[in-house]
Structure 1
Amino acid sequence: MRHESRRMKRMARSHKRKKTSGMNLTSLMDVFTILVFFLLTNTSSNEALEPPKVITLPDSVVETKPRETVTLMVTAEEILVESSSVVITSEVIESEEIVIESIKQAMIAELDKAIGVALASTAEGESETQGEQEPEPPEVNILADRGIPFSLLKKVMSSCTAAGYTKVSLAVIQKASQG
């Protein structure tokens, strides 16, 4: 019996030494830090244009991503340059003019932004090639609903080129290439 009591004392002593430690949160904090860093870096690099709900873009299998440029939206109701309304779509359709003056003036007002973007892209190209390059011409992205008639788009594009924009891109929804 004496032997049993020693054993009990020994077990009691070792049981006292074992402290119930709390949860170790160091690894969990590391995972959360990495997760926050990942989310911050990926949300800041938004490469795709987000069309508004009123515009349904046509589909395409193009591989290149759009660059940040002046954005012109053509909806069924109005034409917007950088989210500010310029003219009502029905007026442009009814007009006999090829160059719409209100669109041209709004695009000229945004020309500084377009030239700044073009100079920034040229500066990136120069740092890679270290050569003399001409600055990229001003560029505009047109977001137009797929139901918009081409005659209207032709007037919008003509107004952009009359304002000095030599590169006109139509925004589309990228589909997987079939090949």
Structure 2
Amino acid sequence: MKRMARSRRRKTPGMNLTSLMDVFTILVFFLLTNTSSNEALDPPKVITLPDSVVETKPRETVTLMVTADEILVEAKPVIATSEVASSGENVIAAIKEAMQAEMDKAIMVARSGDQAESADGAADSALPPEVNILADRTIPFSLLKKVMSSCTDAGYTKVSLAVIQKASQG
């Protein structure tokens, strides 16, 4: 009888927290790794981007969207796509003016992205402004050429076309 009473006293019910801590550690690690990987541009539903096997992701810069109906700079309508397509000029004045209005943002983004390289900030004044162009895959290249010419004429020296990244081919 005494043995049975002793064995009951030893077994105190308790919760093993080791498994629970492992689950929480995995959960925290998962959340930390997935929140920092959301760097890619999210294209609007009206634009279907072409596919590419590019490895690097685009940086946050001034965004110019070319849809089937209109051209937007930072989500603000600038000009109709049909007007640009029918225009005989290589540089479209409305796009150039809208891009020049966004020049301050482009320079600030370029400086903030390059501050890790130069601690004193002296070399930051020579950074070129950048623009990312999101264009539907059905837009003809002649129209994109006019848009890119307008951007370079506005002072943007780095022009990037946004694409959907797919798995590399080997």
**TM bracket, shorter-chain basis:** 0.7 to 0.9
Q: Structure 2 residue aligned with 1:83, among 75, 82, 106?
A: 75
1:70-129 alpha-carbon deviations (Å, 9 max, x no partner): 1111111221111222222222222233222221121111101111122233432224xx
**Retained in 1: the 8 A contact 2:115–2:124?**
no
Instruction: Quote the residue 1:71 is aligned against.
Output: 63
Give the whole-Å Cα distance in 1 for the aligned partners of 2:19 and 2:143: 59
Cα distance in 2 for residues equivalent to 1:72 and 1:84: 9
Q: Which moved more, 1:114-123 or 1:67-76?
A: 114-123
Instruction: Decide which structure has the larger Cα Rg and report it.
Output: 1
- Structure-2-length-normalised TM-score: 0.83
Q: In the TM superposition, what whole-angstrom CA distance separates every residue of 1:151-175 from its partner, at most 9, and x where no partner exists?
A: 2111111111121111111111223
1:15/1:121 Cα in 2 relative to 1: closer, same or farther (>3 Å)?
A: closer
TM-score of the two chains, using structure 1 as the length reference: 0.80
Greater mean deviation of Cα atoms: 63-72 or 33-42: 33-42
Instruction: Report the Cα distance in structure 1 between the residues aligned to 2:131 and 2:103, rounded to whole angstroms.
Output: 10
Gaps of 5+ in 2: none
User: 1 CA distance for matches of 2:64 and 2:57?
Assistant: 17
Q: CA deviation at 1:37?
A: 5.0
Maintained 8 Å contact 2:71/2:78: yes
Runs of 4+ displaced beyond 6 Å: none
Q: Is the 8 A contact 1:121 1:136 kept in 2?
A: no
Local SS of the residue matching 1:142 = strand
How far the C-alpha of 1:131 sits from its partner, in A, is: 8.8
**In 2 relative to 1, CA 19–64 (structure 1 residues): closer, same or farther, beyond 3 Å?**
closer
The match for 2:152 is 161
RMSD after superposition: 2.5
TM-aligned CA deviation for residue 60 of structure 1:
1.9
